[in-house]
């Protein structure tokens, strides 16, 4: 949640969600947390998302108009400090470099965060009142009562960042953002040749985007869809003059493979990409022509930097040494290193809040080992989550029973996580036909041993500590779980190709999540889909489809709880934890505020006398 717009809310899901939602939401939770709140916002927004004026008929209703006194004419201005002094930096760490910087085709949550720095959307949610949308690129909007038509009026004088085309060498300067750029975004996302399947799901019910003039357009939806509000007001423009700088029709495959342009970011948001030093760092500089500056929502910090530091201990030492300004600590660092003199003196301050995310173990349901839900229930009951919570997370996480967090209205309070119960688990395995017939200590069925491989992220300290505990518990029940340690880029590729047996990841959980892309059967076999485990269940499909067209909150809660109970019984995932964000931040930063989605860096500032330069710049 920051002034880069609602692009920064939800691909939960797209990883991959996440990854979205994103893809915009899927992503390993440790990876999501690496780039702080901007990544969470971006995944949330992408996962939720989206021009003749609405005809003046009785069914057309005005909405979203700014307050008469102008107090809400731009989102979240109330949280920006008028006394903020411009300048300074914020250096963070990222644990892996990006393959490319095109967030539409790259399912890495960090890439979503990088683009969020440079982007803006039509509206964004208020930090304190997240159900309330406030204007950003949109000056105002009108919504028909059935939420099928949205008329958008854009601000004038919003400019794309200047750039020189890396292919043609042509310079593009003073190019204004128009309604055509929003239509181009939709056209690209809906192009079947563009590798953005998980994001495309959110617009499958969109009928059209009609440009009325340069500053007005209309979005029409085919059917009533609960997510149409967030999808539409979360729309960000895509620079056509950058991505379609050639004659003839747009080429989706060319968009995917445009390696030179995909190393760049051209946006209209508060920051611009200054430099990408491959396998070293990314540097973003404040964009002086950002439209939000004139409206009181321009960031004060001059530079946002992401340094590539793979090992958590190396990152922690960089924090203590002053070369990092912000770091998400691991639980053991929070507990065991939190009394370091830097913290004791106040040079570093700690902030703790429960993340709107959950971790899970996903089972590839295409594998015969996991096709019986009794087996999946048994696997969950063989994992001592309370021990992991205590020994690995140092009690800085909450055990979850399903995809809705304990504090969500969609969560069924009567639903409890499966208990740690090895005796009952062994009974279920026996009922499913798994027995140690040859006495070698490994269960077997129909001549097949119960042996599988769990993917482990090479740079995740949480997984490196958790997986041996799980392996030992499963071995005691006659299951041989092997652990394969792989790099994040390879991990994502394996998921997209469905080339895995079990994985451990995390999802962002947006305010009003749409479970379609993660749980609907239509997504099970799509390349790069967020339903990477291949979950197929007709009853789940029915609930999900009804949820998408249900606006009544009580009914939505009822349906969501039905879905949660079904997933609880089916256990396509072993639902693990909702962890706490454990943030360490240098004390020189002012206006540090924790909201439900974290600490927005857009409102931070540093007094002139305490500002530091970016090394090597």
**Is 247 domain-assigned?**
no
Does the pLDDT of residue 292 top 50, yes or no? yes
Beta bridge partner(s), residue 457: 486
Q: DSSP for 285-346?
A: EE-TT-GGGGGT-----SEEEEEE--SHHHHHHHHHHTS-SEEE--HHHHHHSTTSHHHHTT
**498 within some domain:** yes
Comparing C-alpha atoms, which of 539, 532, 566 is closest to residue 404?
A: 566
d(CA 585, CA 327) in angstroms, rounded, equals 7
Torsion, Cα of 608, 609, 614, 617 (10° steps): 80
Angle at 313 between CA 310 and CA 316, to 5 degrees: 100
The CATH code of the domain that includes 484 is: 3.10.105.10
Average pLDDT on 381-407 reads 94
Whether 23 has a pLDDT exceeding 70, the answer reads no
In tens, the pLDDT along 107-117 reads: 777 899 999 99
According to the model, what pLDDT value does residue 202 have? Answer: 83
Round to whole Å and give the CA distance between 124 and 6: 4
Higher-confidence position of 359 and 492:
359
- Euclidean distance between CA atoms 563 and 168, whole angstroms: 51
501: which DSSP letter? S
On whether the CB atoms of residues 181 and 175 are closer than 8 A, the answer is no
pLDDT digits (tens, 9 = 90+) for 527-568: 878 899 999 999 999 999 999 889 888 999 999 999 999 999
Global pTM value = 0.79
Q: Stretch 503-518: mean pLDDT, rounded?
A: 85
Q: Is the pLDDT of residue 157 over 80?
A: yes
Pairing of strands 206-213, 281-286: unpaired
Query: How far does the chain reach from its first CA to its final CA, in angstroms?
Result: 28
Percent helix, strand and coil across the chain, each rounded to 5?
30, 20, 45
In terms of C-beta density within 10 A (0-12 exposed, 13-18 middle, 19 or more buried), how is residue 228 classed?
Answer: buried
Conformation bin of residue 72: beta by default, left when phi > 0, alpha when psi is -120 to 50: alpha
Mean pLDDT, to the nearest integer, of 585-590?
A: 98
Comparing CA positions, the residue from 119, 160, 122, 101 lying closest to residue 4 is: 119
- Indicate whether 344 belongs to any domain: no
CB 20 within 8 A of CB 530: yes
- Cα angle value 389/490/357 (rounded, 5°): 35
d(CA 525, CA 535): 9
Q: How confident is residue 35, by pLDDT bands cut at 50, 70 and 90?
A: very low
Q: For 286-293, what is the mean pLDDT? A: 96
Number of domains in the chain: 1
Give the model's pLDDT for residue 325.
Answer: 98
Q: Is pLDDT at 54 greater than 80 in this prediction?
A: no
Question: Does some domain include residue 561?
Answer: yes
DSSP one-letter string for 28-45 = -HHHHHHTHHHHHHHHHH
Per-residue pLDDT reduced to its tens digit, 306-322: 999 989 899 999 999 99
- Is 113 part of any domain? no
- Given a cut of 50, whether residue 347 has pLDDT beyond it is yes
For 525, what's the count of Cα atoms within 13 Å in the CB-facing half-sphere?
2
Q: Which domain holds residue 479?
A: 357-579
Within-domain flag for 432: yes
Query: How, if at all, do strands 480-486 and 451-457 pair?
Result: parallel
pLDDT of residue 600: 94
Dist CA 314 CA 304 (whole Å): 20
**Would you state the pLDDT for residue 472?**
97
Mean pLDDT for the stretch of residues 264-291:
97
Tell me, what's the pLDDT at 171? Answer: 97
d(CA 477, CA 486): 26
Q: How distant, in Å, are the alpha carbons of 234, 304, 562 from that of 80?
A: 21, 17, 41
Q: Which carries the bigger pLDDT value, residue 360 or residue 27?
A: 360
Answer for the pair 101, 265: CB distance below 8 angstroms, yes or no.
yes
pLDDT confidence band for 26 (50 / 70 / 90): very low
Averaged confidence pLDDT in the chain: 87
DSSP letter at 77 equals G
pLDDT value of residue 61? 29
Q: Does residue 184 lie within any of the structural domains? A: no
pLDDT-derived band at 60 (thresholds 50, 70, 90) equals very low
Please check whether residue 386 lies inside any domain of the structure.
yes
426, containing H or E segment: helix 422-431
Taking 90 as the threshold, does the pLDDT of residue 349 lie above it? yes
Angle CA(530)–CA(536)–CA(541) in degrees, nearest 5?
A: 90
Average pLDDT over residues 155-163: 97
pLDDT (0 to 100) of residue 108: 79
């Amino acid at each position: 949640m920051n002034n880069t717009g609602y692009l920064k809310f939800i691909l939960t899901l797209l990883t991959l969600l996440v990854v979205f939602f994103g893809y915009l939401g899927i992503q390993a939770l440790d990876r999501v947390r690496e780039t702080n709140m901007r990544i969470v916002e971006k995944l949330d927004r992408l996962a939720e998302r989206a021009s003749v004026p609405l005809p003046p008929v009785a069914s057309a209703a005005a909405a979203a108009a700014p307050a008469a006194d102008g107090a809400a004419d731009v989102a979240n201005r109330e949280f920006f400090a008028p006394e903020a002094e411009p300048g300074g930096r914020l250096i963070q760490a990222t644990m892996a470099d990006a393959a490319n910087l095109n967030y539409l085709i790259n399912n890495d949550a960090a890439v979503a965060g990088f683009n969020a720095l440079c982007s803006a959307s039509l509206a964004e949610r208020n930090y304190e009142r997240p159900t309330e949308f406030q204007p950003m690129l949109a000056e105002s909007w009108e919504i028909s009562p059935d939420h099928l038509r949205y008329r958008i009026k854009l601000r004038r004088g919003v400019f794309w960042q200047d750039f020189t085309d890396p292919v043609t060498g042509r310079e593009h300067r003073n190019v204004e953002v128009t309604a055509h750029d929003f239509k181009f975004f939709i056209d690209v996302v809906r192009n079947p040749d563009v590798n953005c399947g998980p994001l495309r799901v959110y617009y499958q019910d969109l009928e059209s985007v009609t440009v009325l003039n340069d500053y007005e357009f209309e979005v029409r939806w085919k059917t009533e869809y609960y997510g149409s509000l967030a999808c539409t007001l979360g729309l960000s423009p895509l620079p056509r003059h950058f991505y379609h700088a050639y004659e003839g029709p747009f080429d989706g495959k060319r968009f995917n493979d445009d390696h030179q342009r995909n190393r760049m970011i051209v946006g209209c948001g508060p920051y611009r990409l200054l430099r990408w030093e491959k396998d070293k760092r990314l540097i973003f500089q404040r964009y002086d022509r950002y439209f939000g500056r004139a409206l009181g929502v321009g960031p004060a910090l001059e530079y946002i930097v992401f340094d590539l530091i793979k090992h958590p201990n190396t990152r922690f030492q960089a924090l203590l040494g002053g070369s990092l300004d912000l770091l998400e600590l691991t639980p053991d660092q929070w507990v065991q290193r939190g009394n370091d003199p830097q913290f004791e003196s106040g040079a570093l301050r700690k902030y703790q809040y429960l993340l709107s995310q959950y971790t899970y173990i996903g089972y590839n349901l295409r594998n015969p080992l996991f096709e019986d839900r009794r087996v999946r229930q048994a696997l969950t009951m063989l994992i001592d989550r309370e021990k992991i919570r205590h020994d690995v997370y140092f009690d800085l996480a909450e055990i979850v029973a399903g995809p809705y967090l304990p504090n969500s209205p969609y969560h069924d309070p009567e639903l409890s996580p499966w208990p740690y119960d090895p005796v009952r688990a062994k009974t279920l395995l026996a009922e499913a036909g798994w027995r140690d017939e040859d006495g070698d200590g490994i269960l077997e069925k129909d001549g097949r041993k119960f042996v599988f491989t769990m993917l482990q992220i090479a740079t995740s300290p949480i997984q490196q500590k958790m997986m041996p505990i799980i392996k030992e518990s499963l071995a005691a029940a006659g299951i041989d779980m092997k652990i394969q340690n792989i790099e994040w880029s390879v991990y994502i590729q394996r998921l997209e190709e469905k080339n895995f047996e079990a994985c451990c990841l995390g999802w962002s959980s947006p305010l009003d999540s749409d479970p379609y892309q993660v749980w609907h059967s239509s997504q099970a076999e799509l390349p790069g889909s967020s339903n990477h485990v291949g979950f197929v269940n007709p009853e789940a499909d029915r609930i999900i489809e009804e949820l998408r067209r249900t606006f009544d909150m009580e009914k939505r809660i009822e349906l969501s709880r039905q879905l949660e109970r079904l997933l609880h019984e089916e256990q396509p995932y072993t639902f693990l934890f909702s962890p706490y964000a454990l943030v360490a931040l240098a004390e020189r930063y002012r206006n540090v505020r924790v909201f439900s989605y974290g600490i927005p860096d857009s409102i931070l500032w540093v007094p002139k006398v305490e500002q530091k330069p970016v090394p090597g710049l």
